[in-house]
Amino acid sequence: MRNLKGKKALVTGAAGGIGQAIVARLQSEGVMVGGADLEPSQADFSFQGNLMNAEYCDGLPGRAAEAMDGLDILINNAGIITRGPVTQATDGDYQRTMAINVEAPFRLCRAAIPILAAAGGGAIVNTSSCWGMHPGPNHPLYATSKAAVAALTQCLGMEHAHQNIRVNAVCPNEVNTPMIRSGFAQRGLDPDTAIKELNASVPLGRIAEPEDIADVVVFLASDEARYMCGSLIEVNGGKPVQ
């Protein structure tokens, strides 16, 4: 039913908290995975590089298709979080946030779509955030970047469905990964204690683990989501953005 066996996927942020779980879940479904990250990953093929480099992004889907002898799935998972009020944001903060969170997915979608179309179709899963759909306090650059990813997903979902390319996005709330843990550490808090407190704020009783998000990503990439195009799927344990 999932029909993923033998497919070829490119996953960005493959060495990160959610990325590692996506790579493992795809591999367990029989998918060959190319991982793109600053760091090495457990993917079958590694395309290490910096997503702030336009040439690297533009060439990545083609390199992945060549190395794996095809490309069916693109997962734009890499991202960074930028915290603090807009009055304290530097030009560098803005450029880095938009380059990694928005421009890289744009470049990767632009390069991947003709490859997927030539193969008869495929799936793209972007990573937005609940914070891109319902902005919360103190993260204006992050929320803006994730709202852009949501809009990109909705546009491409409509515009490339006729090529049998489904573009959807997962929108997590808080997930137990280095991204969230580093924020606590920077504020001088013990990440384990802070996450315990955060767990109490979630109606389901805990923040997400990376696998909770990876399962939804893999579903969106699979034939089980065959009629979904341009959907933004919130995965939040029942917790609104606060």
Ligand X SMILES: NC(=O)c1ccc[n+]([C@@H]2O[C@H](COP(=O)([O-])OP(=O)(O)OC[C@H]3O[C@@H](n4cnc5c(N)ncnc54)[C@H](O)[C@@H]3O)[C@@H](O)[C@H]2O)c1
Q: Which residues bind ligand X (CB under 6 A)?
A: 13, 15-19, 37-39, 50-52, 77-81, 100, 127, 129, 172, 174-175, 177-180
Tokens of 29: 């479904």
Catalytic residue among 56, 94, 142, 227: 142
Toward ligand X, which CB reaches closer, 24 or 119?
24
Cα of 132 vs its chain's centroid, Å:
13
Q: Cβ of residue 142: shortest distance to ligand X, in angstroms?
A: 7
- Of 143, 140, 54, 156, give the one whose Cα is nearest residue 104: 54
Toward ligand X, which CB reaches closer, 38 or 155?
38
Toward ligand X, which CB reaches closer, 80 or 119?
80
Q: Cβ of residue 165: shortest distance to ligand X, in angstroms?
A: 21
**Gap between the Cα atoms of 61 and 168, Å rounded:** 18
Q: Cβ of residue 109: shortest distance to ligand X, in angstroms?
A: 15
Tell me the residue nearest to ligand X as measured from the CB.
16
Tokens of 84: 């603090």
**Gap between the Cα atoms of 76 and 153, Å rounded:** 11
Q: Cβ of residue 76: shortest distance to ligand X, in angstroms?
A: 8
Toward ligand X, which CB reaches closer, 16 or 122?
16
- 41 within 8 A of 14, measured Cβ to Cβ: yes
Does the annotation mark 142 as catalytic?
A: yes
Instruction: List residues with catalytic annotation.
Output: 142
